[in-house]
Each structure stands twice: as structure tokens, then as C-alpha cells.
Amino acid sequence: MTHFPVEKIRLDFPILEEKIRNKPLVYLDNAASCQKPNAVIDTISHVYRHDYANVHRGVHTLSVRSTDKFESAREKIRAFINADSTKEIIITKGTTESINLVAQTYGKANLKPGDEILITAMEHHSNIVPWQMLCEQTGAILKVAPINQQGELIVTEFEKLLGDKTRLVAVVHMSNALGTINPVKNIIDLAHSRSIPVLLDGAQAIPHMAVDVQALDCDFYAFSGHKLYGPSGVGILYGKRALLEAMPPYQGGGDMIRKVTFEETEYNSLPYKFEAGTPSIADVIGLGAAIDYLNDIGMDAIAAYEAELLDYATEKARQIKGLRIIGEAAEKGAILSFVLDRIHPHDIGTMLDSLGVAIRAGHHCAMPVMDFYEVPATARASFAMYNTQQEIDVLMNGIESLIEVFG
Ligand code: 7TS
């Protein structure tokens, strides 16, 4: 293993000291949500103890202070994904809300009956259902690009589905059910050569790799704070400024207006046009602290360490008879989905919990992926930068003893 200060990092995450059923916690459910470092917990606590007031409203000291911290977090988020301007950083509740926002604003304004939206067969429900709802509202048609048995997008088929009627491509950057990292630059170039905008669902990619929205040239990028070592209840929609300027607002209310009369309302400028109501102030500032923390470690170092963890886990898993890995893409992030002969994933999850190991068992909000592999569910171990090889050993030993008893 290359040197990565994992032991030092672990000390920053107080929950990792918890005992679960009298065993040390082995937390391998990071794709669902990851744990929070002291830097984030303390920042949020500090805001409520010292800085808290509503933002963008008051002239009083606390309101100015919380507004400054809130807007400085927006700038940290901008820099983290290398967006051109903070006007392009819309604060939402999470990936789900970010995608719904695009569907209900850009989508409703631009789609006519017969127009097409192109997604892939490995999407999370939150990058399927908002488009289905939009199709119901507009008469547009949802097209789905297929995947192969390794769990990779078949790019030639994807390209064939890009047609005269395609108005938007919406693709997951890294799949939560399979771990597949999609060739998003290639996808974007193919779509742009036909002047079709591309939304990337970055919920899983963002904690595992450096993301540069300008280098990718994506039109929209959606992610959640809680999968990025930050708080839940806050997420981001990045959008290219020209697109966001042209889009109608999402929700109406305070903060998103410049002038209101009963006859007419003038909307606020970007990014506030899309941010109706009081945001999750302390959590946004907490997300800024998560980004500072990650920048100190370095996203490239994190990606390299997690790649080693995944290789180690994959190699161990391949040695277990009766274990089938679901998702073996050549480009893969730190997610290991698997099934065992004759043992239901929920039983795997329950049994591993008795050993202190937290994994997720289920359809992972990607039911079409389960249908494709003809499994009702999978067990999924998903790794974060604070996981270790020793923890993977605990997982694999647990699986082996489970097979011995029930297999
Ligand atoms: N897109 C992907 C690829 C995801 O993995 C998730 C959440 C979402 C969108 C939605 O994010 P949210 O923060 O708005 O809920 N994925 C998972 C998961 O794999 N297990 O629990 C949540």
C-alpha cells in the first residue's frame, strides 16, 4: 500500500470508535451516507453557538456573520469542482432535489411531445423518476442506453440513441449499485457534437475523485453533501451560467425574488433565483468544512488509496466460492456489490451486523439494475477513505463463516 495516513484520518471520525454489538464498528455503507469528521461536527456546532442567524436578510452582526460564512462555503464548493462562478452553484437539499430542479425548470421549459431524454440502464431512481414525471407532463419520451454484463455502458448503443429528438442526456458519473465509473467525457463529447446538454449525477463520484466541471464541460452536475463527509439535507446543483440564466425558477418564495407586487414578481439573480426559502445554513457551512478537510488530504490521494482498497477487497471476494460479484467494470469506484448462493442479501446484512459490520442489502434504489442481473437485491460493501484492509478482512471472514453455516 502507498502511504496514506488512514490511522490519523480515523482519529478525526469519532463515530469510528463506536462498538456495535460489542464489536468495533466496521462501517462499509459509505455509498448510502458516510460518516463525519470532527471538522464538520465542530463547525456546525460553532455556527449554532456563535454565528447563527438567517442569511441574506439582516443588517445585524450575526446575520452578516452567518451570511459571510454561508457565501464563503459556496465559494469553497465552487473551487472544489472548478466551476467558473459562484453564480453557477445552486444550493439544494441533495442530488435528488438537484435533478428534480433541472427536470421541472429546464425540462419543462424545453421539452415538447415526442422529444427524448436519454439515460442509462444503471441509473439510481433519482435519475429515472424525475424524467418519467417530466415525460408525463410534457409528452416527452425516456430512452435508456443499455449496459453489458460487466456493468459498463455500451457506448456504441448510447451513441445510436442520440438522435434528432434527444433534448437532454442524464447519466450517472459513478453507479451506486455497481461501482461503474462511466466514460463521462466521451459521453459529453458525443452529446455536445449534436448540441445536446448533459446532466451528470455525481452523488457517488464526488467523494471518490477530483471533479472538474469545466474540464468535463458538463452542463449540469448534481451531488449531495452527506456522501462527501458533510451533513445531510444539503446538496449542490452546478449548472452552466447561460443555461441557468435562461431557466425559469423552481420554487417561489423568499430569497428568490427581487421585487414582489400582487401584479408581478421580479426574480432574483443567480444563484438565488433557485434558492427559495431559508436554506440549511449551518449545514452548508459544514459542507464547506468538509471540503477544507478533503482538500487537506487531497482527492487524488484519496482516489489512489480507495483504488487499492477496492483491489484488495475484489481479490479476496473472488477467492470465496459461492460469491458472485455484481458489477465488474474495468473503470470502477470503491463499491463491491455481491450475492451469495442460497443466502438472501438481507440475511447477509443482518449476520454481518452481528459482527459489527455495516453494509447495505437491498436494491440500492436501482431496481432496473437488479432486474438486469436477475437478482432481487445485492449485498453492498462501499468503502471510504477511513476504511482499512483489516476491516475488509473482517468483512470477508464474516462472509466465509456465513457460507459455512448457511451456504
Ligand atoms: N444518485 C446516486 C448515484 C446515488 O447513489 C444516490 C443515493 C442518489 C442519486 C440520491 O442521493 P440523495 O442524497 O438525494 O438521496 N444513493 C444511495 C445509496 O446508494 N444508498 O442510499 C442512498
- Check if the beta carbon of residue 179 is closer than 8 Å to that of residue 332: yes
Q: Are residues 272 and 306 in the same domain?
A: no
Residue 1 confidence (pLDDT) above 70: no
Residue 20's domain spans which residues?
6-30+299-406
* Chosen domain end from 278, 295, 312: 295
Question: Which residue lies with its CA nearest to atom 4 of ligand 1?
Answer: 203
**Residue 130 forms part of a structural domain:** yes
For the Cβ of 124 lying below 6 angstroms from any atom of ligand 1, the answer is yes
- Check if the beta carbon of residue 234 is closer than 8 Å to that of residue 287: yes
Question: What distance in angstroms lies between residue 33's CA and the mean position of ligand 1's atoms?
Answer: 8
Active site residue 365: yes
For the Cβ of 31 lying below 6 angstroms from any atom of ligand 1, the answer is yes
Which atom from ligand 1 is nearest to the alpha carbon of 201? 1
Which atom from ligand 1 is nearest to the alpha carbon of 29? 20
**Residue 36 forms part of a structural domain:** no
> Which sign does the torsion angle of CA 365, 371, 376, 378 carry?
negative
Which grid coordinates belong to 197? 446538454
**Residue 66 forms part of a structural domain:** yes
DSSP 3-state of 116: strand
CA distance 237 to 267: 19
Which grid coordinates belong to 178? 455497481
* Chosen domain end from 262, 295, 328: 295
- Say which amino acid occupies 93: K
Pocket test of ligand 1: the residue of 99, 123, 126 to mutate, having most ligand atoms within 8 Å of its CB, is 126
Candidates 34, 135, 218, 365; catalytic one: 365
Q: Which residues, in sequence order, are CB contacts of 278 under 8 Å at separation 6+?
A: 54, 55, 254, 255
Provide φ and ψ at 10, rounded to 5°: -60, -35
What is the average pLDDT across 317-331? 98
**Residue 1 forms part of a structural domain:** no
Q: What is the pLDDT of residues 141-200, one digit of tens each?
A: 999 999 999 999 999 999 999 999 999 999 999 999 999 999 999 999 999 999 999 999
Question: What distance in angstroms lies between residue 203's CA and the mean position of ligand 1's atoms?
Answer: 6
Strand partners, 153: 147
Find cell 436477475 and name the residue: 374
CA distance 186 to 180: 15
Q: Are residues 195 and 316 in the same domain?
A: no
Residue 406 confidence (pLDDT) above 90: no
Strand partners, 309: none
Question: Where does residue 139 fall: left (phi above 0), alpha (psi -120 to 50 degrees), or beta otherwise?
Answer: left
- Alpha helix ranges (H) inside 333-379: 345-353, 367-373
Q: H-helix or E-strand containing 101?
A: helix 95-102
Q: What is the pTM of this model?
A: 0.98
For the Cβ of 377 lying below 6 angstroms from any atom of ligand 1, the answer is no
Which atom from ligand 1 is nearest to the alpha carbon of 172? 3
Number of residues in the chain: 407
Using DSSP bridges, classify how beta strands 335-340 and 323-326 pair: parallel, antiparallel or unpaired. antiparallel
How deeply is 160 buried, as exposed, middle or buried, from its count of CB atoms within 10 A (0-12, 13-18, 19+)?
A: exposed
Q: Are residues 236 and 337 in the same domain?
A: no
Residue 341 confidence (pLDDT) above 80: yes
For the Cβ of 143 lying below 6 angstroms from any atom of ligand 1, the answer is no
Q: Are residues 103 and 205 in the same domain?
A: yes
Closest CA to 155 of 124, 126, 180, 128: 180
Q: Are residues 290 and 304 in the same domain?
A: no
Find cell 455484481 and name the residue: 326
Average confidence score pLDDT of the chain: 97
Question: What distance in angstroms lies between residue 265's CA and the mean position of ligand 1's atoms?
Answer: 35
pLDDT of residue 102: 98
* Chosen domain end from 275, 295, 315: 295
Which grid coordinates belong to 212? 472538474
Q: Are residues 123 and 162 in the same domain?
A: yes
Q: What is the pLDDT of residues 222-258, one digit of tens each?
A: 999 999 999 999 999 999 999 999 999 999 999 899 9
Q: Are residues 59 and 207 in the same domain?
A: yes
Which value, in Å, is the radius of gyration of the alpha carbons in the chain?
22
Question: What distance in angstroms lies between residue 143's CA and the mean position of ligand 1's atoms?
Answer: 21
Q: Is residue 25 very low, low, confident or very high in pLDDT (cuts 50, 70, 90)?
A: very high
Q: Are residues 57 and 144 in the same domain?
A: yes
Which atom from ligand 1 is nearest to the alpha carbon of 173? 3
Residue 40 confidence (pLDDT) above 80: yes
Q: Is residue 58 very low, low, confident or very high in pLDDT (cuts 50, 70, 90)?
A: confident
* CATH code where residue 281 lies: 3.40.640.10
For the Cβ of 224 lying below 6 angstroms from any atom of ligand 1, the answer is yes
CA distance 407 to 403: 4
Pocket test of ligand 1: the residue of 102, 124, 232 to mutate, having most ligand atoms within 8 Å of its CB, is 124
**Residue 103 forms part of a structural domain:** yes
- Check if the beta carbon of residue 242 is closer than 8 Å to that of residue 197: no
Closest CA to 177 of 387, 377, 390: 377
Count of domains forming the chain: 2
